[in-house]
Structure 1
C-alpha cells in the first residue's frame, strides 16, 4: 500500500519492506515540520505490525537530505515565532530516537548530499549505505549553529578525535571516508540501488546484512581522512578551542594552516558549544544527548550568531558572516547549557552595549594612591560623568578592600578591578567578594582578572609563574567551580596575545588590556571579533611642554620594558628591540602614553575608540604641581561628559 501525502514524504509498504521516501528535491530534501511529523507518524503507525525492514531514501538521485530547513528556523526567530522551531526540533529528535530504537532494521540509502538533519535520519538506523555520489558533513558551525540530531552521541563515538574534527570543521566526507570512519556501513554503486531495494523486499532473500553484503563493493582507494589520523588525533584530542589552535600552530604544514583558517571562519560561540557537547556526550546516552541538544538549540536559534550565520550562508549568500559576542557560558555536569542574555546586541533588544554599562571613558587608579585620595578621586570622577572607576590589583592581596571602600563612598559609578592578580587573589576570594558587592551594590561591580608577570609573581608570592594563557584558562575554570559562581558576563580578562584574547571573548564579557598603543587596540578587536567588550587602559599626561611631558611618560614606561608580556605587544605593533632600550624611544613613548593639552588627549581617546575600543580607562600621570582630579576635570570638560543620575544598565 502506498501512502502519499503533500508533506514531501511518501510512505510505502511492499510486503515485508516499508519505505520512507523524501520528495522535496528542489530544496535538497531540507526537512520541514510537516515532513518530520509525517516520518514520525509513519514509524509509529508501522510499529504495531512492523515490517521486516524499513528503508529511508530520496525520490531523486544526487541528494538524500541537506538537513533541516534552517532558513525557516531563522525566519521563525526573526518573526518571534520560535515555538514552531521548538516543535520542529522536538519532533525531529523524536524521529531520531525512534530510528535508534526501532524494532526492525532501518536502512538509509545515501545517494548524494547528506548533511545535518539528513545524518540524523540515517546514522541512527542499523545500516547506512552510501554510493559514489554520497557527500556527508555536519557543517553547522559555519552558520552559527552546532551539530545536533544526536551528533554529540554519534560523533563522539568515532575513532580517536575524528568526531571532534568533523564536528568543529564541517569537513565533507565522500563514500570511502564515510565507510572508513564508521558513519556508513556499506558502499553500493548508485546504479545498483534499485536492485538492492527489490532484494530487500524479497522475504526469502535472507537477513538484511546478508543482502547488503551481496551488493556491497570494496573501495578503490584508501581514505584520505584516515591517512591523516595521526595529526587529527594529536590536534583535536585537546579539550579547549584555544588548545586546538595552539596544536595546529605547532603541527604546521598546509593541512594545519587550512584547518586553522577554517576554524577562524566559524562562529566562536558554535565552536565552544560543539566541543563541550561532544566531550559531555561521549559518556551519555542518546536520549540524554538529544535532551541537551534540544536545550542548546532553544538558545542558539535565538542568538545573533545564528541569525547572522544563516543570513551569510543561505539568505544573502555573501559568505561573510560577522560573528558577535558568544552567549554560551558552558555546560553543567548534568548537561544544562548555561547561557547569557547580555552582550553586545543592538536593534531594540533592550540589552546593553559595553559603553552603556561602563561609559565611553573611565578612570584607572593605582593602589599606591593614599586611601583618602582614592575616595576623593572616585567621587570626583562620578560627579564629572566618567562611567567607571578601575582599581589596580598590583602584586599583593587587598584590592577588594579598596573596591569596597569606593563602592560605599559612591552612588552610581561602576567599579571594576583592573586587574585582580590571579596569583594574589584566589578564585574563592574573588567569588566571595563579587557576590558580596552584588548583594550590597547591585550591577555596579565587574571582576577584572589577569595573569600578572613572572617578576611580580616571584617577588610577591611563593607560586610558580605559568604562561598567561595557561594561567588564565585555569583561573577561569576555577571560578566556574565555586559555589554561586560569578556569571561570565561579570568577568573581564586582561588579555594581550591572540589566544588569550579569544579566550576572553569566549569565556568572559571581554578584555581590559593594559599599556597598549592604538595599534594593539586594533589588533585586539580583530582577535576578539565584533562582539566582546574591549576596554584598554590609556596613560595620559596633561602637559603641553613636549620635553617635560615625554620625561614624565618615559619614567613611567621604563619600568615595564623588561616585562615580556608588554614587550611582545610593542614588537607586534611594529616597534623594534632598539625602541625598547634606554627607557623607550621617543616614538614608543609617544605611542603608548598620550601627552599634550586636553584636546590632544581627547584625540588619542578617539583613536582608541575608532580602532575598536568600547571604553577607554584613563590613568593620569600628574606632572609637577598637578592633582589627578584637576586633570580629570579638564578631560571631562573637553569630552563634554555629563553625570548620569540613573543608568538602568547597571
Structure 2
C-alpha cells in the first residue's frame, strides 16, 4: 500500500516540475533530434540523439509521422530508410523518464506519447512503400516499434535486441503483442517475459530481423538502396539477399552471436499461466531454467501477468487491434504503481531493488488483470 500512497503523492507533487518537463519536451529541437532527407529515390530518416542512444521522444514522433505519410504518397519517393546516428544504437527505446514524470502529475504527455507512438507504429506496419530499418546497434522498446513492423529489418553483428519492459512495470508494447506471438514456438513469450537480449545473427534467426549484413557494409548497402529506380519489394529483397549472401561467405554464421539455436528449451514456456511456466523452470533444474526462473522472480508480477495475456490475445488479432489493446494497457500502467517504482529502481535511483505491489503472482486476481484490458470508451486509441 505504501508504494501506491507514494505514487499518489508523487502525482500531486508541484506543478513546477510539470512545467519543466513540458518545456524540456516541447522545446526539444525535434528537427535536430530526427533528420529527414530525400537522398536519390529514398526518404531517409536518421534518429539523431546519439548521446541518449537515439531515445524516441514525442517531438520526434510528431516529425516522423507526417513525413512518412507524405513520402508514402509521393510519386518521386520509392522507398523509406530509417537508421540511427552515432554508431552505438538504432534506438534504445522511448523517453520513459519524461513519460514517468508526466504520469506522476497527471500531465497529458502520458497519454499523448503512447497514442501517437502507436499510431506511428501502425503507419510503419501499413506503409505501401518498401520500409527498410537498419537496426545496427542497440534496438529496444520504442526502437523495436520503429523497425519490426516494416517490411525489411537489417541486423548486423552489432545489433542488440530486447523488450525489457517487465523489469520496469510495463509490458512489451509498440505492437509486441502482434509480432512476439508470431515468432517460432514459445520464443516470443520467452523474450517478452524475461527481457532476454538477442545479439547479432540471432536477431535474424529469431525472425525479428529479415536480413543480416556485416556492419561495415551498411553504408554501401544504403548507397545502392537509395539509387534503386522504382523498386518493387522484390527488388529490395534481392539486393538485401545479395548482401546477406556475402556475409555467409565470410563465416559470420559462427561469429558474434549468442548460442540460441537449437539448444534453449523454449518448451518450458508452454503453460496456461505464468505460475505454470515458473513450475516448469523449477522442475527442469537446468542452468538455463534456473537463470530464467531467477530473472522472472525480479520482474513486476502484474507486468508478467499482463504480458502473458497480451501475447495470448495478440496472437489472433490484427496489428491495429493489438495497438488498441496495448494503449489500454499503457494507461492501466500509468494508473498503477509498478511502472513508477520500476523506473525509479532501474533508471533513476539505480538501486535495482524495486518494491513491486502486489509483490507476488499469487496476490494478483484474474479480475485485476482483466481490468487492465478494459475499454477506455471515448479515450480509446483510434486510427
TM-score higher than 0.5: yes
Equivalent residue, structure 1, for 2:325: 292
Equivalent residue, structure 2, for 1:237: 270
1:48 deviation in Å?
2.1
User: Is the Cα–Cα contact under 8 Å of residues 199 and 205 in structure 1 kept in the other structure?
Assistant: no
Q: State how far apart, in whole Å, the 1-side matches of 2:277 and 2:158 are.
A: 32
Say whether 1:226 aligns with 2:261.
yes
1:7 deviation in Å?
5.0
Say whether 1:67 aligns with 2:93.
yes
Q: Secondary structure in 1 aligned to 2:146?
A: helix
1:338 deviation in Å?
8.6
Equivalent residue, structure 1, for 2:151: 126
Q: State how far apart, in whole Å, the 1-side matches of 2:31 and 2:131 are.
A: 24
User: Is the Cα–Cα contact under 8 Å of residues 302 and 369 in structure 2 kept in the other structure?
Assistant: no
1:331 deviation in Å?
3.3
Say whether 1:152 aligns with 2:185.
no
Equivalent residue, structure 2, for 1:494: none
Relative to its length, the structure with more helix (as a share) is: 2
Q: State how far apart, in whole Å, the 1-side matches of 2:303 and 2:198 are.
A: 21
Q: State how far apart, in whole Å, the 2-side matches of 1:190 and 1:27 are.
A: 21
Give matches, 1:437-456, under 5 Å: none
Give matches, 1:189-268, under 5 Å: 189-204=214-229, 207-216=235-244, 217-218=247-248, 219-221=252-254, 224-229=259-264, 231-232=265-266, 234-268=267-301
Cα distance change on mapping 1:314 and 1:100 into 2, 3 Å: same
Q: Aligned match of 1:78 in 104, 125, 142?
A: 104
1:336 deviation in Å?
3.3
Q: State how far apart, in whole Å, the 2-side matches of 1:184 and 1:14 are.
A: 24
Q: State how far apart, in whole Å, the 1-side matches of 2:67 and 2:289 are.
A: 45
Q: Secondary structure in 2 aligned to 1:74?
A: helix
Equivalent residue, structure 2, for 1:35: 60
Equivalent residue, structure 2, for 1:329: 368
1:28 deviation in Å?
1.0
Equivalent residue, structure 1, for 2:37: 12
Deviations 1:29-63 (A, max 9, x none): 11111011111011122222152111000122110
User: Is the Cα–Cα contact under 8 Å of residues 330 and 338 in structure 1 kept in the other structure?
Assistant: no
Give matches, 1:353-364, under 5 Å: none
Cα distance change on mapping 1:41 and 1:98 into 2, 3 Å: same
RMSD of aligned Cα (Å): 2.0
Give matches, 1:145-544, under 5 Å: 145-204=170-229, 207-216=235-244, 217-218=247-248, 219-221=252-254, 224-229=259-264, 231-232=265-266, 234-325=267-358, 329-331=368-370, 336-337=373-374
Q: State how far apart, in whole Å, the 2-side matches of 1:337 and 1:168 are.
A: 22
Q: State how far apart, in whole Å, the 2-side matches of 1:314 and 1:9 are.
A: 24
Equivalent residue, structure 2, for 1:501: none
- Residues paired across the two proteins, number: 331
Q: State how far apart, in whole Å, the 2-side matches of 1:301 and 1:113 are.
A: 26
Q: Secondary structure in 1 aligned to 2:368?
A: strand
Q: State how far apart, in whole Å, the 2-side matches of 1:6 and 1:104 are.
A: 23
Say whether 1:48 aligns with 2:73.
yes
User: Is the Cα–Cα contact under 8 Å of residues 82 and 133 in structure 2 kept in the other structure?
Assistant: yes
Q: State how far apart, in whole Å, the 1-side matches of 2:258 and 2:48 are.
A: 31
1:228 deviation in Å?
2.8
Equivalent residue, structure 2, for 1:117: 142
Residue ranges of structure 1 left out of the alignment (5+ in a row):
340-650
Q: Secondary structure in 2 aligned to 1:238?
A: coil
Q: State how far apart, in whole Å, the 2-side matches of 1:5 and 1:116 are.
A: 20
Q: Aligned match of 2:133 in 108, 118, 123?
A: 108
Equivalent residue, structure 2, for 1:513: none
User: Is the Cα–Cα contact under 8 Å of residues 329 and 337 in structure 1 kept in the other structure?
Assistant: no
Greater RCO structure (CA 8 Å; 6+ sep): 2
Give matches, 1:531-570, under 5 Å: none
User: Is the Cα–Cα contact under 8 Å of residues 64 and 111 in structure 1 kept in the other structure?
Assistant: yes
Q: Secondary structure in 1 aligned to 2:324?
A: helix
Equivalent residue, structure 1, for 2:119: 94
User: Is the Cα–Cα contact under 8 Å of residues 156 and 215 in structure 2 kept in the other structure?
Assistant: yes
1:129 deviation in Å?
0.4
Q: State how far apart, in whole Å, the 1-side matches of 2:64 and 2:272 are.
A: 37
With normalisation by structure 1, the TM-score equals 0.49
Cα distance change on mapping 1:299 and 1:5 into 2, 3 Å: closer
Equivalent residue, structure 1, for 2:25: none
Structure showing greater Rg:
1
Equivalent residue, structure 2, for 1:518: none
Cα distance change on mapping 1:338 and 1:228 into 2, 3 Å: farther
Deviations 1:46-91 (A, max 9, x none): 222152111000122110111111111110112221x212111111
User: Is the Cα–Cα contact under 8 Å of residues 278 and 293 in structure 2 kept in the other structure?
Assistant: yes
